[in-house]
């Protein structure tokens, strides 16, 4: 596979990393604003300037045994089982003009879907009331809005990223529900990343580190602590169209939850995940290309957080870069990068 074709393929990969959904459950249920796995392979590699559009389907299935308690729906509950089917969609615009020597992009993503949750026992509720037995809840609605800005630099096979994103809490949220498509509060998240990408060999490896600050959920009298998250991915381009690899994440809350609603104390959570990824790219004419990808994670080492597995299916339409001859192999550069 020539360098130019690998570059076209990597363009779509990066767009997928930039546009992923945020959340389907309330923050006080042991679930964070940051969705682990948001960044993966090729996260820091610059892309083809211009507009693009992403549609993403996300499914997760998580649970926590009856011996683990969570604050959810205004109650302290146990025996949580939850599933979510989400559709995320939105545009990105990548600027051709250099910003601080790098490539800038902005995006705005909307989320909608159908989360559902079941609990086996409610230990306590508002006003001192106690409820027991099974309870289920589900909703189909729109979620919050998710703006993001990124800045990327290329230096040969080395690529660097800084990003800023957050949550605009306009989605459907009710503190008394077990399932919500909105957070019920705002959040801001920022960080940086690095990608090694060698077009000559088709190998890449990426890592992104970030921090989340959560604003207070006034309806629940709850404020989640600061979250530290690390996402990684590694892959190999086998042909003009096919890419295979591994992805993973580690999420760890580094400061305690606070507020009158934090009846379980600091409740600092963590979880890890790992799994495979596969992608396929193809042209669709008129200077455009499509990238379809599937990646999945199996979670482990969970604490104060339901855990299970999740699958992502992405469909990205973007501009294909104009045909350009590959640079000399000794330079290790590829079309579209910034040197």
pLDDT band (50, 70, 90) for residue 297 = very high
pLDDT, position 305: 80
Query: By percentage, how much of the chain surpasses pLDDT 70?
Result: 75
Higher pLDDT, 302 or 22: 302
Residue 15: inside a domain: yes
Residues 72, 147, 161, 337: is their CA dihedral positive or negative? positive
Q: Which CATH number is 185's domain given?
A: 2.40.160.40
Residue 215: inside a domain: yes
Whether the pLDDT of residue 57 is over 60: the answer is yes
Number of CB atoms found within 10 A of residue 79's CB: 18
- Helix (H) or strand (E) run with residue 12 in it: helix 3-18
Residue 331: inside a domain: no
Whether the pLDDT of residue 222 is over 60: the answer is yes
Give 67-123 pLDDT, tens digit per residue: 666 666 556 766 778 899 999 999 999 999 999 999 999 999 999 999 998 877 666
Residues 162, 51, 195, 335: is their CA dihedral positive or negative? negative
Distance CA(166)–CA(247), nearest Å, equals: 23
With tokens 């960044």, the residue in question is 39
pLDDT band (50, 70, 90) for residue 135 = confident
Q: What is the DSSP string of 303-317?
A: ESS-EEEEEEEEEEE
**Closest among 144, 18, 41 to 92, alpha carbons compared:** 18
Mean pLDDT estimate for the chain? 81
Distance CA(291)–CA(281), nearest Å, equals: 4
pLDDT, position 241: 83
Higher pLDDT, 243 or 23: 243
Q: Angle 143-148-149 (CA atoms, 0-180°, nearest 5)? A: 170
Residue 186: inside a domain: yes
Average pLDDT value for residue range 217-243 = 90
Average pLDDT value for residue range 258-282 = 83
Distance CA(286)–CA(289), nearest Å, equals: 9
Give 181-208 pLDDT, tens digit per residue: 888 899 999 999 999 999 899 999 999 9
3-class DSSP state of 6: helix
pLDDT, position 107: 95
Residue 328: inside a domain: no
Number of domains within the chain:
1
pLDDT, position 30: 47
- Which residues form the domain of 119? 3-319
Distance CA(241)–CA(30), nearest Å, equals: 39
CB 293 within 8 A of CB 13: yes
pLDDT, position 237: 92
CB 336 within 8 A of CB 48: yes
């Amino acid at each position: 596979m020539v360098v130019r074709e690998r570059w076209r393929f990597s363009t779509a990969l990066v767009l997928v990393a930039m546009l992923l959904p945020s959340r389907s459950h309330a923050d006080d249920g042991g679930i964070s604003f940051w969705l682990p796995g948001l960044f993966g392979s090729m996260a820091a590699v610059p892309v083809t300037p211009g507009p693009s559009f992403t549609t993403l389907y996300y499914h997760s299935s998580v649970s926590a045994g009856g011996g683990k308690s969570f604050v959810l729906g205004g109650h302290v509950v146990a025996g949580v089982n939850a599933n979510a089917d989400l559709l995320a969609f939105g545009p990105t615009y990548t600027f051709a003009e250099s910003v601080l020597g790098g490539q800038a992009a902005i995006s705005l993503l909307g989320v909608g879907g159908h989360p559902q949750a079941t609990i086996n026992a409610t230990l306590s509720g508002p006003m001192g009331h106690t409820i027991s037995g099974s309870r289920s809840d589900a909703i189909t609605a729109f979620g919050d809005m998710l703006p993001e800005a990124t800045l990327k630099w290329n230096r040969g096979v080395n690529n660097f990223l800084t990003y800023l994103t957050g949550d605009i809490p306009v989605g459907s949220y009710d503190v008394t529900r077990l399932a919500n498509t909105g957070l019920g509060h705002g959040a801001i998240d920022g960080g940086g990343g690095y990608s090694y990408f060698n077009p000559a060999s088709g190998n890449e490896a990426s890592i992104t580190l970030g921090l989340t600050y959560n604003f207070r959920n006034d309806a629940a009298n709850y404020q989640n602590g600061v979250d530290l998250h690390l996402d990684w991915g590694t892959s190999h381009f086998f042909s003009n169209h096919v890419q295979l690899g591994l992805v993973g994440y580690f999420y760890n809350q580094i400061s305690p939850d606070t507020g009158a609603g934090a009846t379980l104390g600091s409740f600092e959570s963590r979880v890890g995940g790992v799994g495979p990824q596969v992608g396929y790219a193809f042209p669709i004419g008129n200077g455009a290309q499509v990238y379809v990808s599937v990646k999945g994670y199996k979670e482990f080492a969970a604490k104060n957080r339901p855990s299970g597995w999740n699958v992502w299916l992405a469909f990205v339409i973007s501009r294909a870069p104009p045909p350009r001859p590959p640079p000399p192999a000794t330079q290790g550069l590829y079309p579209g990068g910034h040197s």
